[in-house]
Structure 1
Amino acid sequence: MKRFIFLLLYNLLLPVFLVISIPGYLIKMKKRGGFGTGLSERFGIYRKPAAEEPKGGLYVHAVSVGEVFIALKFIREWSKTHSEPVILSTSTATGHQVARDAALPNVRPLYSPLDVPGLPGRCLKRFEPKAVVLIEAELWPNFAEACHRRRIPMVMLNARLSPRSEGRYAKVRGITRLLFERLTALGAQNENDKARFARIGVNPDIITAPGSIKFDVLGDAPQNLREDFRAILDQLRGERKVVLAASTHAGEEALIASAIREAGACPLIVPRHAERRAQVVADLEQAGFTPLLRTTGKLPAGLPANACYVADTTGELRDWTALADAVVIGKSFLAEGGQNPVEAIAARKPVITGPDMTNFADLVALLRENDAVVCCEAGELAGEIARALDGSEATAARAERAYQALHVHSGATRRSVELVETLYKA
């Protein structure tokens, strides 16, 4: 009865939520190029006849770019021992594009259906998956019910729950329990996350801690040292070192670029959201830079001394990271919780973060215990960048300690595959 009332109230309130949120969603879709196929698939309208679609494999859902990269890593490991098709569903145009660009064999990129009664079931009927994998924490009531009715096991992988999120879920523990009851298994990133999920009402018997796929450096493909990227940076840098500002958020580009300039280095900016390019350009110009956008093509013949390169694209951060001399982590200087530092650590680069890395608190705590990362205030950033570029043995040793600290998650991708295999209907 409780579940019936919960679903009834959810579906009564859902139209109100959609009316409020869809205009903003459509604007975002337009900015990110997601109209057409994306919009139709979200409403359960598909171009191919159902008979031509892949059936009987694994359905993996990843919300956006970060989750898609994790999903691709999992799928590559899964495909080593499984030849069945994989459906990779995403919620955003940028995530969908990354899935398409990966071009993995036997993988069908798909826009996930809206969580409206009937649409999740229509999608599952079309692809008939043997199991569903949810990356991190995207769990929708109607989709979960549709899986339950069809007896499709549903596994959440790479699941993370911050202390802040635990507090929010704890306030609605009854609803949380009803929602997570539909999971067959939950693979948490670490023992702390495992304990937090149990405290908010998830059945402890279904929770394991295989580790973080994101932090599993052994599961990563080798970084791509792209010669076209190297040529761009060689033209920009002159005799200077290159410092990457990774996954920056609003207000950070000018702040970090100015600190890089003060340290005598060449700034390379990769915004978290490429569609913010106009605001990024305006902020950098106000700070005295001449922004050069990757999307405009080749660099001009005569580069100004105040040039600042902005890689306003999606899915290339890893390749830029491989060529940088040091990395500053975005979203960490203006109380936003931080972005993932793992790609920089895996590349053995000196890593600097701002004071707020609460989104990755467990990882940063591990790094700080090993003196493997530098966390500083904005006013200290220029000095820390200069020290990171000093070429000293101490700097190299810190980067190596960070890399070694990640090995607590070594094999997490394989362990996650094995967890799904225990439930997969072969």
Structure 2
Amino acid sequence: MTTTTLSPSRPCPGAVHGPLLPVVGAGTRVPLAHGGEIPYANLDNAASAPALTAVADRVAQVLPHYASVHRGAGYLSRVSTALFEQARAQVGAFLGAGPDDVVVFTRSTTDALDLLSRAVPTGARVLVADVEHHANLLPWQRSARTTVVRGGADAGETADLLEAELATGRYALLAVAGASNVTGEVLPLRRLARAAHAAGARIAVDGAQLLPHRRVDLGRDGIDWIALSGHKLYAPFGAGALVGRRDWLDAAEPYLAGGGATLDVGHDAVRWASGPDRHEAGSPNVVGAVALAEACATLAALPAGALEAHEAALRERLVTGLGALDGVHVVRPHPEDAVGVVTFTVPGHPASAVAAYLSAEHGVGVRDGRFCAHRFADALGLAEGGLRASTGVGTGSDEVDRLLAAVAQFVTTGPALEYGTTGGHWGPLTDARPAPESFLPSPGGGRG
């Protein structure tokens, strides 16, 4: 086998790809441990994606009109209420929600799936696989009526195992991730939806990792519920949503007890609202909802296939470049279908140490660890952790090439600095960078 060594002067071959959409923070410079600064190479989009410029612009536009929602007679309250409900309609339209579906705004995908888990009818059985992110495993796993099946060698085999278990007819709900946050593999959702419905079950999809990369249509794809997070979808303003069928949600106890979720409160009884109000007690995150809706609209306006082509080119560049390096192992490099998430290891070196090196000496941000999917990571041989590089609409091939060159340097000549652990965290023993908490002080002054 011929091995290619990549260096800063020899980037990964192939066409140059620029960002697909402008994002806030592109070109932001970060300090290096040995001195100087460099533009940040953000390859950690799968954890939290930067805000789209269009989202930030929309937030700036609506902030002067921010006021109370649903309960104010003032003009700005009416404007904010209109913005909030418009955002609900936009998110629903982005996901192909039907007239009988409901859009409940939440804090995140985790919040949305916890809400749905509390709406499952008493006694109903739930089916999940152990390849799930904790957000789509732990809410279900705490119930004795949940079956957790072991995942297969790839997404297709996992789907086979789930389909076989569904065929027993014992389940009311199948909960699956649209795409793995560890390997990027995409599950065959339409096939699983058909299998669930044929067995008398429903399907709920954790869309956190899929929706930044692929469009989903609830009606077309046969999905009953989908959960999503704004911070994965280029709208990092603290909002998420649960979108889908209303019957279980209308019959469930309110997720939170409080103002806005009630029709009437008497001495001895409470009449709860139905629809989204039932589970949105308290003052809603209007700005977060507007940001999420703008992100949905911006992604929906992309030409057909543009998003898929962009990430496919970058993923191929990552996989090819990493796979060419001696001393680097790519986890499931060639799945049948995958989004822009690539996990790899440098055997013999702690993942956290390599991640610290990439940041300190090259200004590259990646994720290290077991990615909140411990059971799946362990099954993949990542009990000690791995490194995850993930692309987004703001990623260009130059950032991918910088990662490849940095990893090539690590496995050939090694880091320029000496590394160790402090408080359980890896880092250079000599570090010229300012402490993160002091790098960008508040313009409002200090704590004194």
Give your verdict on TM over 0.5: no
Higher relative contact order (CA 8 A, sep 6+): 2
Q: TM-score, normalised by structure 1?
A: 0.31
Q: TM-score, normalised by structure 2?
A: 0.29
Greater helix fraction, Structure 1 or Structure 2:
1
